[in-house]
A and B are shown apart, each in its own frame.
Chain A
Amino acid sequence: MSRPAFRFISPSLQWGMIGLVAIALSLWQAGLFQQTVVNLNGFPLLWRFVAASVHPDLSYDLLATTLQASLVTLAYAVCGTFLSVTIGAIAGVFCSEVWWLEVLRAKRLRYFGFHSVRAILAFPRAIHELIWGLFFLNIWGLDPLVAVAAIAIPFGAITAKVFSEILDETPRQPLLTLINSGVAPITAFFYTLLPQAFLNLLSYSFYRFECSIRSAAVLGIIGAGGLGYEILLSLQSLRYEQLWTFFYALLILNGGVDIASATLRHQLGCASRIDLNSHRPTKRNIPNRRIFSLFPIAIAGVALSFWYIQPDLSKIGSPRSQQLLNQIVQTSLPPNFTGMAELIPLSVETVAMSVLAIAIAASGGLLLAFPAAQIFLPGGLLNRRGKANLFPPVLLAVARIMLLLCRAIPAPIWSLVVLYILFPGILPGAIGLGLHNLGILGRLFAEVTENLEQPPLKALSAGGTPDSLVFLYGVLPATMPRFLAYTLYRWEVCMRETVIVGLVGAGGLGRLLTEQLSSFDYQSLIVTLGAFLALTFLVDWISGRVRRSLRSS
């Protein structure tokens, strides 16, 4: 980089080229240039699947099943979110830098304590909900408790990390001001940091709820019940009409939660996910006090959900569970390293799958995000003159429904559908993951576009710049850095999610993990898990590095 001849290569160009090379290598790894990947015989089956979308099974019995399954999924999500936010709120404070530096004032131990708490939390976070689910399944058997705990533990650790980041990036001066006027640090914490960060914490909790509902659907696949389970059953028995009924139910559930969450966040004036860390002063639409009226509703919802799914809490401490846990711990030691040689090609497969998935998700998301944002609507950003035209609203609706469909259906289900026309391998897994994440990324991109700062764009427009150039000179440059940051974050998630498409045989470490888990081969499992964790941390590190270097350029 320091060599003058290469100075014209900006970091973004450099990383862009590395990214393209990575995608090409991953495609090669997927066997795209070496063998036939498309199975032409599967097209009739795919057509039957697609054709069933227009006549879903609307019989009374199936609708009743659908409603019940939807309620179960929703209840899992509510309970999971409640527990993960509780865990996150407590652990988040204890792993924030500001707590160690300013509140505890721990001088010598501070870095040791701070980093060890953070490091411990990295482990539950790196393991996907599904692996947790399969693990708890082996201890507790089929019980709603499995689904709730499988969501609560990894999500709790993620929430803790994000909460601690929010606290750390909240302006610290008011806190220091109070501490420096002799107020006890803990009191100062409650009077300054907490009220300042509260809205962002709340906003993130809503976002977590959106993630929980998707996760609850995936967990159904391992037998936890709910919509995911019903979908898998219908898919395996080739009953496409039923399948689409469940798909539509998922669509409504996801769409409803997403809209409710987005509306609430908008009403509270709190930032979107990534803006949490930038702290632009926000304008609030409703007074602070009305937030608190939400709390009784939330508590009632949580209580109702727990009552509906009836998790058997006695299993947590029961002797039988203890015994099984001890057994697992004992049988997993010593680790069995004989399969080590196999892990290297599987690791390469896993990374290749995640790279392809994020490439599909980002390019697809980019294509759908702009039509899905309100900027082309009459009176919107790029259609100021307000020409009443039917085309933009229709385009918007189509783009939004496509995004919703993509993200509402779990990645393994997409993979199974793709498997009709592709031969098994990492490509169907990557496409399944890619399609699911496309829906998520596209929505986030559209949100970024709608929340753009208007004044610079209006200034361009006022100078007589045509809308197309406003898009090129105003919208694109302002949105691209955020799109990239979201994409890199999402790549980390894709890496973890390779596990769930591994479940349906897409390959990589995920398949090995799920195989070893269900065959109780804990000695090998622990080695595979170690490799997977190392890979996850590697991807996090690369993504973090790229994000930093892009931010500073």
Chain B
Amino acid sequence: MAGRGSAPTPIARMSSDPIISVDRATLQFGQFTALTDISLHIAAGERVALVGSSGAGKSTLIRLLNGTLEPTRGEIQAFGQKLHQLKPKQHRQIQRQIGTIYQQLHLVDSLRVIHNVNAGQLGRWSFLKALISLIVPLDVATATQALAQVGIPEKLYDRTDRLSGGQQQRVAIARVLVQNPMVILADEPISSLDRELSREVMEILCNCQSSQTLIVSLHDVDIALRYCDRMIGLRRGRILFDAPTTAVSSEMIADLYRL
């Protein structure tokens, strides 16, 4: 509804300032502290890997970055704006520039693939257009192109739950490609894929436009070293290191997975 001419302000500011910055954020779920004192700045076009053992807080950090979770202390800025002080409408406009691929994908199984892909651009559509498209799919060209990019254009009209796990993963990626955000967050996008597919998926994510920023959580350090230019190591909710991938030593990695 509010899609036309969206958010000129954030884009204008991004060139000099960091695109996302987290300032001393702590997040607690009741007694349990999930993230402690996290600070980081990410510039446009960076390819950042979040690594760490399971339970280290990678998924939580990603959900903090896309505005789903609110920090208990500290603050998050995206495109120079404090994420949790925005009115719902502005908040939505910012969120439109942040696309997330979830570990569990969160696709709607009973819809056809095209609707799941189109879901990425619903933020720019009017309610009426969205409703009509559920009956007569609109903007087929965009969806087809995105599906071609992830290599499954022939699945356009299939039901999503008929696809294999790897194909569903691609649909989730295509949804984000259609959304065409400034920042792509991906939570363990290759955890359930074999090595061949993992490589393909990482290629797709990294071959997006160079201005797009990628933040991806990974359990596979080799993949992180190969595809990303910066690595953030998380251990028990704290940042253990934050360095260019070239500067990451095997000692640092060993330390990361030490119990």
Contact = CB atoms under 8 A, between A and B. Distances in A.
Contacts of B98: 181
A183 B106 contact: no
A34 interface: no
Nearest to A105: B88
B95 A181 contact: yes
B9 interface: no
A198 B110 contact: yes
B91 to A, nearest CB: 8
A234 interface: no
Contacts of B108: 174, 191-192, 195-196
A186 B122 CA distance: 11
A182 B95 contact: yes
Given A174-B108, A191-B119, A191-B130, A181 B88 contact: no
A116 interface: no
Nearest to A188: B122
Contacts of B179: 181
A184 interface: yes
Contacts of A188: 122
A287 B161 CA distance: 12
A532 B122 CA distance: 49
B96 A182 contact: yes
Interface string B26-69: 00000000000000000000000000000000000000001110
A550 interface: no
Contact of B110 (A183, A186, A199): A199
A180 B1 contact: no
A173 B107 CA distance: 9
Contacts of B88: 105
A186 B127 contact: yes
Contacts of B2: 184
A263 interface: no
A529 interface: no
Interface string B103-134: 01011111100010001101101010011001
Contacts of A519: none
A199 B109 CA distance: 12
B227 interface: no
Contacts of A173: 102, 104, 106
A181 B131 contact: no
Nearest to B120: A181
Contacts of B125: 187
Contacts of B1: 184
B96 A181 contact: yes
Given A184-B1, A190-B130, A191-B134, A177 B102 contact: yes
B93 interface: yes
B209 to A, nearest CB: 18
Contact of B119 (A176, A183, A288): A183
Given A105-B88, A174-B107, A180 B68 contact: yes
A184 B127 contact: yes
B219 interface: no
A191 B122 CA distance: 9
A196 B110 contact: yes
B215 to A, nearest CB: 15
Nearest to A193: B108
B106 A182 contact: no
B92 interface: yes
A187 B102 contact: no
Nearest to A283: B161
Nearest to B110: A195
Contacts of B237: none
B217 interface: no
A37 interface: no
B159 interface: yes
Contacts of A184: 1-2, 92, 122-123, 127
Contacts of B100: 177, 180-181
**Which of B1, B67, B123 has the most C-beta atoms of chain A within 10 angstroms of its own C-beta?**
B123
B163 to A, nearest CB: 14
B99 interface: yes
Contacts of A531: none
Interface of A: 105, 173-174, 176-178, 180-184, 186-188, 190-192, 195-196, 198-199, 287-288
Interface of B: 1-2, 66-68, 88, 92-100, 102, 104, 106-111, 115, 119-120, 122-123, 125, 127, 130-131, 134, 159, 179, 181
Interface pairs A-B: 4 shortest CB-CB:
A182-B96, A182-B95, A182-B123, A183-B122
Given A187-B131, A191-B115, 11 more contacts: A105-B88, A177-B100, A180-B68, A181-B66, A182-B94, A183-B122, A187-B130, A190-B130, A190-B131, A195-B111, A196-B108
